[in-house]
């Protein structure tokens, strides 16, 4: 049994054989590194590259039918994100980039370690700098450049402040969770029938949020 970040143990299981929805487009087939995890309900079309250790969540769509889409090492794209590009223009998410649930990433470049909040929209030819934090629901305009290690919010995005070392530590922790989750999901996630009720032991399991979130930042 392997202890996880959350303090809950997961029994190793047989690696899931369920594959994501991968489509050849005009003779170009997506590439997925064997160490990455891509949820079976995710859709990858055409010129898509998923790097080592990456996590791609349920319902994510990567449309590599215009330009190439690259997800670099240890990056994550969470549930229901849409990634697309302009014709002949690469859309790149660099190493350890962190794309929150429901975000739209379109024809842009996300720098190493940058965090894109839930339901944010990053438009064509925008550049999000290394370790920047784009808040949830933010709109980054066409060709807008976000400096490294700042927080931006609003529509259009505006710089709020520089990130502190505490912010950067918190952000790195969240990305580390997803790096770990990619490997946990490869071993421990597979289709199953729902239970009619939970076991008594399971009902007693709770997450100690005091150890996960700093109350001063909540």
Give the pLDDT of residue 76.
Answer: 99
Q: Strand pairing of 158-162 and 150-153? A: antiparallel
CA distances from 150 to 13, 186, 201 (A): 41, 33, 44
Cβ-contact 124, 108 below 8 angstroms = yes
| Sequence-separated (6 or more) residues with CB below 8 Å from residue 141 | 123, 126, 156, 157
In this structure, the chain runs to a length of 218
Give the pLDDT of residue 18.
Answer: 80
pLDDT averaged per 10 residues, the chain (length 218): 39 60 98 98 98 98 98 99 96 99 99 99 99 99 99 99 98 98 96 91 73 50
Give the pLDDT of residue 216.
Answer: 46
Give the pLDDT of residue 17.
Answer: 60
pTM score over 0.85: yes
Give the pLDDT of residue 198.
Answer: 86
| Sequence-separated (6 or more) residues with CB below 8 Å from residue 2 | 9, 10, 12
């Amino acid at each position: 049994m392997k202890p996880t970040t959350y303090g809950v143990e997961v029994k190793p299981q047989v690696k899931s054989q369920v594959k994501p929805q991968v489509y050849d487009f005009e003779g170009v087939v997506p590439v997925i590194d064997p160490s990455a995890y891509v949820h079976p309900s995710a859709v990858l079309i055409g010129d898509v590259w998923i790097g080592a250790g990456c996590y791609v969540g349920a319902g994510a769509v990567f449309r590599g039918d215009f330009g190439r889409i690259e997800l670099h090492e240890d990056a994550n794209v969470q549930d229901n994100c849409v990634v697309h590009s302009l014709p002949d223009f690469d859309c790149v998410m660099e190493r350890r980039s962190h794309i929150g649930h429901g975000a739209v990433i379109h024809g842009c470049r996300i720098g190493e370690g940058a965090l894109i909040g839930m339901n944010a929209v990053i438009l064509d030819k925008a550049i999000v700098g290394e370790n920047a934090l784009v808040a949830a629901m933010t709109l980054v305009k066409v060709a807008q450049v976000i400096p490294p290690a700042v927080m931006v919010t609003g529509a259009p995005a505006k710089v709020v402040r520089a990130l502190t070392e505490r912010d950067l530590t918190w952000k790195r922790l969240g990305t580390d969770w997803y790096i770990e989750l990619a490997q946990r999901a490869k071993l421990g996630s597979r289709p199953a029938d729902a239970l009619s009720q939970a076991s008594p032991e399971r009902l007693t399991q709770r997450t100690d949020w005091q150890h996960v979130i700093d109350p001063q930042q909540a």
